[in-house]
Amino acid sequence: MAVLDPDPVVTRLRSAFNHDADRHRLLTMAAALLREAGEPYTSVYLYMLHGDELVLEAYSGRETDHERIPVGKGVCGTAVATGEDQNVGDVRARENYIACNLFTRSELVVLIRRGSEILGQIDVDSDQVDPFTSDEVAAVRVVAEALAVLL
Ligand code: SME
């Protein structure tokens, strides 16, 4: 069982889209609704791909200084460079981790893809060690797939 139930999140996003919500509004809603799932979700960041950089377009939770991350750098940039989602159970074990604060212990990055194109990613931080089960990853992926259609 996942903590996140993605279906109501997707319903809310589709409804906002049908009421002419723009891209920023959809991304901000997605960040807030994902974070509302509660523990282990601490902060949620929507980084979108602009050329060879990820740009922070919306977030919910702790502020970050990392508004731009080059492809290939950190956990976020690695997801884009490899085309693979990243489930990092313990960020202290990752050499290329870019720390935003001292409390985050784990990070999940799920790519937002439209066909073969990577549009961006959902980046979830948690203060818990290794909290993201395969069910949890699948739940976040449902939201990423919905966003890929709506953006
Ligand atoms: N930890 C990320 C950077 C983004 S912040 O967590 C918001 C990384 O290593 O790419």
* Residue nearest to ligand 1 atom 6, measured at CA: 100
Structural domain includes residue 75: yes
In a domain, 94, yes or no: yes
CA of 6 to the centre of ligand 1 (A): 23
Q: Is residue 110 part of a domain?
A: yes
In the chain, the number of structural domains is 1
Q: Which domain CATH number covers 75?
A: 3.30.450.40
Tokens encoding 77: 């940039």
Q: How far is the CA of 148 from the centre of ligand 1 (A)?
A: 21
Q: How far apart are CA 117 and CA 15, in angstroms?
A: 25
Q: Which of 94, 102, 125, 127 to mutate to test the pocket of ligand 1 (most atoms within 8 A of CB)?
A: 125
Distance CA 151, CA 136 (A): 23
Domain with 85 in it: 6-150
Residue 54 near residue 121 (C-beta atoms within 8 A): yes
pLDDT tens-digit profile, the chain (151 residues): 899 999 999 999 999 999 999 999 999 999 999 999 999 999 999 999 999 999 999 999 999 999 999 999 999 999 999 999 999 999 999 999 999 999 999 999 999 999 999 999 999 999 999 999 999 999 999 999 999 999 9
The distance of Cα 3 from the centroid of its chain, to the nearest Å, equals 15
> How long a stretch of residues is the chain?
151
Tell me the sheet residues that pair with 86.
109
Q: Name residues contacting ligand 1 (CB within 6 A).
A: 45, 64, 66, 69, 74-76, 97-98, 100, 107, 123, 125
Query: Residue 69 domain-assigned?
Result: yes
Residue at 67 is within a domain: yes
Asked if residue 1 belongs to a domain, the reply is no
